[in-house]
């Protein structure tokens, strides 16, 4: 780093320090300067943490490119400015605030309330840590103009985030996300942003806690999603919230539904933002559910359920001949779609929605039941808004949406993924299987025999640095111009480039750096760059019909090998396999 670059870096760091209202992060950044930690300092000051498609997320540390009080104060001011501009003054409804049990969440919520109140906005807040779905629900229940959930979901303990909802209870979409980002850029230093003193201490009439009425409304709402007569008091369930906020709400939902044999994982039951028993609090990660599976063995459970720390995702495990099987997000999605549609008795046509990187199997299930099926870009913001568009047009009624990363929304009670209602309905599904002398794995096998066996894999190719980003972009360009003829020994029958012709697609399938290759026989390969890292992501969904008497395990292993070969072939074709 040149002397001029060092001088510029230190000047920017000192300017950030001067505008930071938090003495702890000011001291943290000063210590980096004094120690000469230029590489770390450069990373901390590498621009400003960007307000992305749903908000902010990053490590909680000092610096402009990190989550901290200064970043949150500036984000809250940007949100307040956009809302005030939208309504031509203070909005008619409150901004709803809530957060999970991460260590920094309370102060970030307090700072947000203080900024919003000083800007003349009404605020309603959850006093205790709550699941993210409750924030989304409360926006609609209270007639809110927006909502903020302070959470990093299933990220490591050092992270936190800032997730924004629009007045419709769904995550914000363009152009609001860009409007807020631009408004944040116009905000000066955080220390100069007005904040109301003691905003959460009952001093201000416009800032009030959310009462039990809203929570009870949520509980009634998700109870209404159940099939009449569903449930089984004898179903033995092991549950873990992974040190998050789910236990109180999941245990209440299951208890009200008549499930009397619930066994929480005691070591992970209490909210704890340090996540002491897991390296990474994501139920998809290897080892994250080990304590739950051990508990299930010890009590002879029928079902294991797990939420991530803010309880918007659900994982499930079921017993089998070889021990416990942790179901993938696509498998849970297929089971829930089949269960919900098999019991649907509404007059209007049912609507199910999944994201483009989720398994195509759900579309086949929907078709078999006469449901309308739609696919969106990744993210529940698009699932929710697609459902709203289609329902407003009177074309169908939304009953289920999912994404492969363990996110599920049932019946529109919450316009975002909700791991609590999903846990309740999946328990009902397992109870139905138990009454039939089976379990969800048996039902999944039936679906495979009916709709074909599907396996899904992902391959990520990292190319660090600016040159890496260029290489990833160039690879996408080459693929769009000239797709391969075969992958994994299977012919490529078509290619769709989502960077073009967005005007011909619905808004939930707009322009995106994504190319989809359809393979003969129904399999497919999707390729897209990561939005945050110099990395190319390859998704492969392989399908095979299941012959009479075929062993599903053997066929699955063969499909996995085929999918891995297709991903490897594509990496080689793009010159990114080295």
Question: Which run of H or of E encompasses 458?
Answer: strand 453-462
**Listing from the earlier edge strand, what are the strands of the sheet with 490-497?**
453-462, 535-544, 524-529, 515-519, 490-497, 486-487
- DSSP conformation class of 227: P
Dihedral sign from CA coordinates of 197, 201, 203, 208: positive
Considering the candidates 105, 153, 359, 456, report the single residue annotated as catalytic.
153
Ramachandran area for residue 198 (φ above 0: left; ψ -120 to 50: alpha; else beta): left
Question: How long, in residues, is the chain?
Answer: 578
**Ordered alpha helix ranges (H), 318-379:** 329-342, 361-368
For residues 281 and 245, what is the distance between their CA atoms, to the nearest angstrom?
12
Helix, strand, or coil here: 216? helix
Smallest Cα–Cα separation from 51: which of 37, 34, 64? 64
User: Is 167 labeled as catalytic in the residue annotation?
Assistant: no
Distance between CA atoms of residues 235 and 36, nearest Å: 60
Nearest to 12 by CA among 47, 57, 37: 47
Please report, in angstroms and rounded to a whole number, the separation of the first and last CA atoms in the chain: 29
Q: What is the dihedral of CA 378, 384, 387, 389, to 10 degrees?
A: -100
Spatial CA neighbour of 95 closest among 69, 71, 68, 77: 77
Distance (Å, whole) CA 243 – CA 228: 32
- Known catalytic residues? 153
């Amino acid at each position: 780093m040149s002397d001029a670059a060092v001088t510029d870096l230190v000047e920017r760091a000192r300017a950030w320090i001067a505008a930071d209202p938090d003495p702890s992060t000011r001291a943290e950044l000063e210590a980096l300067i004094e120690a000469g930690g230029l590489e770390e300092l450069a990373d901390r000051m590498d621009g400003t943490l960007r307000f992305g498609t749903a908000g902010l997320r990053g490590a909680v540390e000092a610096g402009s490119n990190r989550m901290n009080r200064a970043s949150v104060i500036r984000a809250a001011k940007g949100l307040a400015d956009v809302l005030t501009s939208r309504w031509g003054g203070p909005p008619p409804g409150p901004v709803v605030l809530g957060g999970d049990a991460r260590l920094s969440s309370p102060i970030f919520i307090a700072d947000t309330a203080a900024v919003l109140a000083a800007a003349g906005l009404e605020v309603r807040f959850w006093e205790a840590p709550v699941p993210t779905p409750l924030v989304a629900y409360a926006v609609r229940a209270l007639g809110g103009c927006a909502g903020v959930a302070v959470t990093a979901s299933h990220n490591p303990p050092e992270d936190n985030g800032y997730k924004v909802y629009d007045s419709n209870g769904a995550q914000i979409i363009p152009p609001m996300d860009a409007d807020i980002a631009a408004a944040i850029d116009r905000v000066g230093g955080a220390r100069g942003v007005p904040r109301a003193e003691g905003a959460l201490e009952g001093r201000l009439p416009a800032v009030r806690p959310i009462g039990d009425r809203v929570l009870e409304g949520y509980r009634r709402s998700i109870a209404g999603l159940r099939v009449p007569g569903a449930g089984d008091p004898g179903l033995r369930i092991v549950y873990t919230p992974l040190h998050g906020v789910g236990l109180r709400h999941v245990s209440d939902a299951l208890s009200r539904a008549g499930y009397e044999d619930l066994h929480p994982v005691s070591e992970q039951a209490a909210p704890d933002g340090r996540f002491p028993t897991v390296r990474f609090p994501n139920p998809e990660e290897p080892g994250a559910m080990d304590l739950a599976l051990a508990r299930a063995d010890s009590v002879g459970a029928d079902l294991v359920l797990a939420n991530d720390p803010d309880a918007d995702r659900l994982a499930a495990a079921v017993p089998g001949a070889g021990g416990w099987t942790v179901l993938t997000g696509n498998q849970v999605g297929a089971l829930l779609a089949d269960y919900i549609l098999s019991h649907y008795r509404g007059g209007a046509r049912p609507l199910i929605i999944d994201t483009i990187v989720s398994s195509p199997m759900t579309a086949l299930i929907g078709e078999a039941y006469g449901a309308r099926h739609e696919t969106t870009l990744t993210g529940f913001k698009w699932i929710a808004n697609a459902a709203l568009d289609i329902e407003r047009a009177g074309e169908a009624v939304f009953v289920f949406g999912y994404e492969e990363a363990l996110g599920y929304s049932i019946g529109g009670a919450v316009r975002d993924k909700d791991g609590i209602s999903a846990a309740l309905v999946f328990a009902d599904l397992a109870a139905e299987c138990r009454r039939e002398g089976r379990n969800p794995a048996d039902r999944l096998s039936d679906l495979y025999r009916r709709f074909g066996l599907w396996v899904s894999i992902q391959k990520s190719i990292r190319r660090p640095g600016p040159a890496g980003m260029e290489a990833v972009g160039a690879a996408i360009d080459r693929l769009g111009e000239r797709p391969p003829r075969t992958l994994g020994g299977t012919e490529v029958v078509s290619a769709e480039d989502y960077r073009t012709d967005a005007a011909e697609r619905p808004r939930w399938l707009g322009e995106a750096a994504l190319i989809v290759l359809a393979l003969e026989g129904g399999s497919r390969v999707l390729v897209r760059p990561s939005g945050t890292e110099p990395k190319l992501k390859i998704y492969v969904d392989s399908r095979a019909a299941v012959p009479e008497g075929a062993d599903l395990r053997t066929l699955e292993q063969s499909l996995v090998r085929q999918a891995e070969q297709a991903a490897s072939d594509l990496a080689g074709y793009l010159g990114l396999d080295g």
